[in-house]
Each structure stands twice: as structure tokens, then as C-alpha cells.
Structure 1
Amino acid sequence: MMGIKTIGWVGLGAMGAPMALAAAEAGFDVTAFDLSADQMASVAPAVAGAASAREAAQGKDLVGIMVATGPQLDAVLFGEGGIAEVLSPDTVVMVMATVGPDAIEKTKERLDHVTTHLVDAPVSGGVLRARKGDLLMMVSGAPEDTDLARPVLDALASSAPVVGDVPGDGQRFKVVNQLLCGVHIAVAGEALALADSMGLDVNQVYEVLGAGAAASFMFGDRGRRMVDGDHDEARSALDIFVKDMGIVTQTARGVTQEAPLAAAAEQIYLRGRRQGLGRKDDSVVFRLLLGDMD
């Protein structure tokens, strides 16, 4: 198989759109499809638009899928108008969404009769880093497939280590990543809510503690938005952590591993969704924990 030159892209959400642009700017011929016409327009003309997911995928060397959930992945591949029917035995399918190890393993089983070239490469890093090609991607798959996908991975990520030879191992790494991220966001909100309830200046708390041992990436990033009340523009929607913490707790149960902090954080995100905050930025957990949203 020759190197990757053409990419079919399905999913132009908050992360998918800047990633597709990064791939195009790295010199790949990218054709994309998304259900949102606005999202399609947002990446033009650098990324060509297709009338359907099948059209985007047909004849491409690699198809990248950046949807939100396991059921969406299944629908893109095998549902009505699914792309599996237009893939060739040489097509590399790269799943970059966080869908959990079970979803990837089921996808591999169903896809094997079409193409065996499945690369599992969930991403982490946020919208700004996606646009710069500066993501972390946790990559797994057969060595010949991850080697073939390497130029694309390097266009999208500053760090894309291969963490396993079996699709699903990348998702397992992402489960651990999301456990840490989800708990860190929740505890940042809890800490700042406590500071506020004690009458402290939360901006000063953020500045002082952010320079010490209590600092974390999420405290620095989401903490700033918590202090500023910057929740309406969802750079990372609360709904994403409803989904991802669900994957974390489900996966933990599957291996009979206690995950009490993940379970507690999951309940905070679920409460936010029940209160209609799912499309808000996940930093809104600060207001939620203060009781301002009740």
C-alpha cells in the first residue's frame, strides 16, 4: 500500500473541524462531511465538502471519524448510508473519538470483512490545540497500520505514542485520561466553590494556588473560566463529560475496579445535564456546586 495522500473525514464538531483544517494545512487532500452545513462551511475552502459520509469516504486512502458516541460511530459505518459499503480492503479507518474500548472492539469485529486496517486514536487537548496540530493522541492498532497512519497522526498531534497493537488499547488509555480530567474539573469547581462560600476572593485563590502544588492543567484552564464566569461559549461542553465519565464508570465495572471519585464526578455532570446545562462549558460545574443554578 502506498502512503496516505487522501483523507475522507466524517464529523466536524468543536474538535473535528479544527483537526480537519490541520490535516489539510499539512498537505493532505481532505474531503469532509458533517450534518451541519455551518460546520461544513467553516472549513471551506481548505477542506472540500461532500454531500454524504459515503461520498467523503469513497476512494480515500484513510477515513477519519470524529463523532461523539459509540452509537454514532456505528451509524456512520454500518447504518443507513453507512460508509462501510464503499470502503476497500486497503482503506485505513482511523477512529479519533472517545467511544470506549467495547465500541472499538465491536467495530473491529464488524469491519474485518471490509478492511482490517483499523487505527484507534482518541484525542485529548482541546479546541485551540486541535487547530495547531498540537493534540495528544493515544494510538493503537497493528504496527503496519499505525506506521501507515503516522504522517496523519503527526499532522494532528505533537504527541501520538503507540500504546498497543490492538484497537481498543487507545480507548483504554483515554478512559484513564478522562477519569483524571473529569475528576480534576469537578474538584476545581468544588475547591473554588468552597473558597467563595468562605468569603475568599476566588480570583486571588485561583492566582495563588495555581502557582503551587495544588495546580493542574484543568485548574489552570477551567479554573480561569470558572472565575471569569465564562460558561456560555462551550469550548468543552458539559455533555461530553456526561458521556465520558459514563464510559469511565462502565469500564471500571467491567474489570471490577472501584472508581469512587469518578462516580462522584459523574453525578455532578449528570446533575448539570438534568438542569439543562449540557451545552454549557464544563466549567459551569463551579456555579452548579455553588448552588447558583438550582
Structure 2
Amino acid sequence: MKKIGFVGLGSMGLPMARNLARAGFAVTGFDLRAEAGAQLAAAGGTAAPSLTDAFAGQDAVVLMVVNATQAEDILFGAGALAHLAPGGVVILMATCPPAAVAALASRVEGEGRHVVDAPVSGGVVGAEAGSLTIMVAAQAGLFAQVQPVLDAMGSKVVRLGDRPGQGATAKAVNQLLCGVHLAAAAEALSLAETLGLDMDAMLDIVSGSAASSWMLRDRGPRMLERNPRVTSAVDIFVKDLGIVLEAGTGARTALPLAAIAHQHFLSVSGRGRGAEDDSQVIAAYRALQGRA
């Protein structure tokens, strides 16, 4: 498996595609933004002028898109799947509801192609470093075929089972913790601000103590910046925690912490700040305290 199409050259997709090119794969990437394709070409890949060019002649196509609806639109609405050779593989790496992934896989299999359910965790930093965690659901033989592709993008590739949707389920559990940890970090730092503490000192303390988490260490410094770089938007967690709550509802499982975190992200998005860095969930707490 050497020829890889790649759709979705965004803040994570572009470095993932670059890592594939650096690993020796022939990568043909498509994005609605022409400049993204040009950046891939500069890194040794090829910019596809259309969706069909990203699918035609490929062994596999990676979809690093926004959601399951967008994936379905690409594969069936735009008809791109028909340009992938019979037996070809669609590697779905977006965060999607488990039931939607299973339904999409069933349709793709009905067209004589295969789906590897492979959502990722690690953000832009992990995408750039090739150190993503990739949660995979695929039959053993199919997994063996695509593992070198996944290894080029991630440092931890874990197969969870045979059925598409199992990877998406693992991602939902992962995002529950990420969203709650991020909201909890914002709550703690907003309290420190309200109490007038030295914020650099406070961040240094909690980042190196038992109170620490990966999300605190990564997002905490950006919570204190006025206009931080966007590595993952507030609206991504609105979507992802919505998926978490959908999974919980389907399993008749109460998820009160996830629900509260979701409401905080939603409140920030509702004030027109959904495109800002997700560290700005701290604005929800500042508003509650009358400081926003």
C-alpha cells in the first residue's frame, strides 16, 4: 500500500499528510483551500485539483474531515467513492458518532470497498510530530495492510476490534476526559484570577503537582494569553462532547461531568467565539464571575 489519497488538509490534516510523504508514501491531497495543496506539494506530495483526483488510482484514501456528514457527502454526495478502485480502503480519521461510522462503513462495504475506523488524539502538536494516538477498528487482515500508513502518522496505534464504530467509541471516551479536564483547568485558573494570584506562578505550581493534567499543561498557558494561537477550536469540543453525550444516551449512561463541560463550551460558542482556541473555555467562567 503505497499510493494514498488525503482529503482535508487543515491544521491537523496537512502535517499528517506531510508525514506520510516523508515516510515514502505517494500522497495526493485535496482541500478546498488551494494554498493547503500547495503546501503539501512543497513537502513532497501532490495537490489534487479535485476530489476525484484524490481518489482515483489510490490504494487508500484518508478522510480527515469535520464530521460524519462531511465524510458521507464526499463519498456519496460528490460520488468520490466510485473513483476508488474496488477493494480500496477508506481510512476515516475524523471524530464521528459510533453509530454514524458503522452506518457509513456498511454503505462503503456495499460498494465493494473497505472502511478503517481510525480517529486520532494528540492535536496539532501530535499531528506535526507524528506522535498521534490512533484508535483503530478493522478486520485483522485489513489492519495489517494499513498499519504502515497509520504508523507514519502516529506513535501509538491501537486496534480495538473488528467492527467500524469501535474506534469512534474509544475516541468518545477519550474526548470525555479531554473536555472535562480542560473545563476543570479553566475553572481552577479562573478562580486563581478572581483571587488575584500571580497567574504565572499559579500555573507553574499546578502544572507540576498532583493537580496537573496533559490538558492543563498544554492549554493552561494559552488561557492566560489575550489572543492565543488556535490549535483546536471551541466548536470542536462543542461537537465532540455532543458525540460523547449521544454515546452516553445510547448506552443509557449518565455523564453529568461531560454535560456540564459541554454547556461551558457551548456558552462560549454562543457568544460568537466558537472559532477561538478551545483554551478560551475559560471565558465561560469569567462570564459567570462578571469579568467578561
In the alignment, what sits opposite 1:274? 270
Please, which of 243, 251, 254 is the counterpart of residue 250 of structure 2? 254
Cα distance, 1:116 vs structure 2: 4.2
Cα distance, 1:12 vs structure 2: 0.6
> Which structure 2 segments of 5+ residues have no match?
none
Structure 2 counterpart SS, 1:138? strand
Please, which of 211, 214, 220 is the counterpart of residue 214 of structure 1? 211
Structure 2 counterpart SS, 1:276? helix
Please, which of 10, 20, 25 is the counterpart of residue 23 of structure 1? 20
Kept in 1: contact 2:265–2:284 (CA 8 A): no
Cα distance, 1:293 vs structure 2: 7.6
Please, which of 238, 241, 245 is the counterpart of residue 241 of structure 2? 245
1:12 aligns to 2:9 (yes or no): yes
**Equivalences for 1:168-207 in 2 at 5 Å?**
168-207=165-204
In the alignment, what sits opposite 1:74? 72
Out of 12-21 and 42-51, give the one that drifted further. 42-51
Cα distance, 1:40 vs structure 2: 1.7
Please, which of 79, 83, 86 is the counterpart of residue 83 of structure 2? 86
Kept in 1: contact 2:28–2:45 (CA 8 A): yes
**Equivalences for 1:96-111 in 2 at 5 Å?**
96-111=93-108
| Distance of 2:201 and 2:226 partners within structure 1 | 15
| Distance of 1:272 and 1:37 partners within structure 2 | 31
Kept in 1: contact 2:241–2:262 (CA 8 A): yes
Kept in 2: contact 1:87–1:115 (CA 8 A): no
Change (3 A) 1:84 1:116: closer
Please, which of 149, 159, 163 is the counterpart of residue 152 of structure 1? 149
1:265 aligns to 2:261 (yes or no): yes
| Distance of 1:181 and 1:144 partners within structure 2 | 32
Kept in 2: contact 1:6–1:61 (CA 8 A): yes
Q: Which runs of 4+ in 1 moved over 3 A?
A: none
Kept in 2: contact 1:275–1:293 (CA 8 A): no
Return the letter of the residue paired with 1:77: L
Post-superposition CA distance 1:103-149 (Å, at most 9, x none) = 11111111112234211110110112212211100011111111100
Cα distance, 1:229 vs structure 2: 3.5
Return the letter of the residue paired with 2:31: D
Post-superposition CA distance 1:133-182 (Å, at most 9, x none) = 11100011111111100100110000001011111100000000000001
CA RMSD of aligned residues (A): 1.3
Cα distance, 1:71 vs structure 2: 0.8
Change (3 A) 1:108 1:278: same
> Which structure 1 segments of 5+ residues have no match?
none
Please, which of 54, 57, 61 is the counterpart of residue 56 of structure 1? 54
TM-score, structure 2 as length reference:
0.96
Cα distance, 1:287 vs structure 2: 2.9
Post-superposition CA distance 1:17-57 (Å, at most 9, x none) = 10000000000000011111122222223220111111111
1:167 aligns to 2:164 (yes or no): yes
| Distance of 1:285 and 1:229 partners within structure 2 | 13
Kept in 2: contact 1:119–1:139 (CA 8 A): yes
Return the letter of the residue paired with 2:201: Q
Cα distance, 1:288 vs structure 2: 3.1
In the alignment, what sits opposite 1:283? 279
| Distance of 2:79 and 2:291 partners within structure 1 | 40
Cα distance, 1:13 vs structure 2: 1.0
Kept in 1: contact 2:64–2:93 (CA 8 A): yes
| Distance of 2:25 and 2:46 partners within structure 1 | 11
